[in-house]
Amino acid sequence: MRRPIVVGNWKMNTLLSEASQLVAKLRDNLAGVTEVEVGVCPPFVYLPAVNEALKGSNIGLGAQNVYFQEKGAFTGEVSAAMLKDVGCKYVIIGHSERRTIMAENDDIINKKLKAVLGKGLIPIFCIGETLEQRQEGITERIIRSQIDAGLDGITSDDIAKTVIAYEPVWAIGTGKNATPQQAQEVHLFIRKLIAHITSDIIARDIQIIYGGSVKAENAQDILSQSDIDGALVGGASLDAEAFTRIVQSAKR
């Protein structure tokens, strides 16, 4: 049975005092929640402080990005070992904002996935089509190519440890979310792709989550779909009450 998971992507938001207040509220609100796996991904600079604030809670720490090299002359970059060292459990990889704004391609994403899995961290591997691609009717083709390229050369055992986030680009930060049916269709398609490249058992057990304007108000409808195992939440994760309601909606 797959455990639902809800992860907050804070993006480039919060100052230290705001991050601390947000974590304190989440700790209180989510203290008794065990049925849902919960994570928060603050900006790099607040990872140690948030890690400290999360100690003894049931909320895992995640990073929003990583570099694939082990160490060396890569000014401004952060390695998987460093993220592990400061308490991270999750790392978001392949977010559409990084694919578009930072020009990250499938090859870089594949290297990042390998680096993160190599250090025993859990990648949250983001894929999704643009509005133009959906309108052209090539959503499945895009998803298939992102899965094939992103997971190229990764063992089935490691794929099983990966969380896949389906995030239609047109739904991220736009207030437009995919309908529950649209999201369910793509999630099922992803699960079938995973079955094809690994096994039916891995496909049955892998967590596939939805991201794209998930709010307290629409979470229940989206998260009740059979192949949707939780959410990657951007904007609404900055509001402790909204994020808490989303987590509550993920209970099965």
First CA to last CA across the chain, in angstroms?
A: 10
Q: Binder to ligand PEP among 202, 212, 238, 246 (CB under 6 A)?
A: 212
Residue whose C-beta lies closest to ligand PEP: 234
Question: Does 4 contact ligand PEP by CB under 6 A?
Answer: no
Which residue's structure tokens are 């909320």? 59
**How many other CB atoms sit within 10 Å of the CB of residue 151?**
24
- Which residues in 223-252 contact ligand PEP (CB under 6 A)? 232-236
Give the count of alpha carbons within 13 A of 169, CB side only: 20
Establish if 64 lies at the interface with ligand PEP (CB under 6 A). no
Tokens read off for 147: 């899965």
Q: Residue 8 corresponds to which tokens in the numbers above?
A: 């907050």
Which residues are part of the catalytic machinery? 95, 167
Three-class DSSP category at 193: helix
| Residue 219 makes contact with ligand PEP by CB under 6 A | no
Comparison of 7 and 36: residue with beta carbon closer to ligand PEP: 7
Q: Residue 234 corresponds to which tokens in the numbers above?
A: 């951007």
Closer residue to ligand PEP (CB): 213 or 249 = 213
Nearest approach in angstroms of CB 236 to ligand PEP is 6
Of residues 48, 118, 120, 173, which one binds ligand PEP by CB under 6 A? 173
Distance in angstroms (rounded) separating the CA atoms of residues 18 and 171: 26
Out of 146, 207, 213, 248, which residue is the one contacting ligand PEP (CB under 6 A)? Answer: 213
Strand partners, 5: 37, 230
Q: Which residues bind ligand PEP (CB under 6 A)?
A: 9, 167, 172-173, 211-214, 232-236
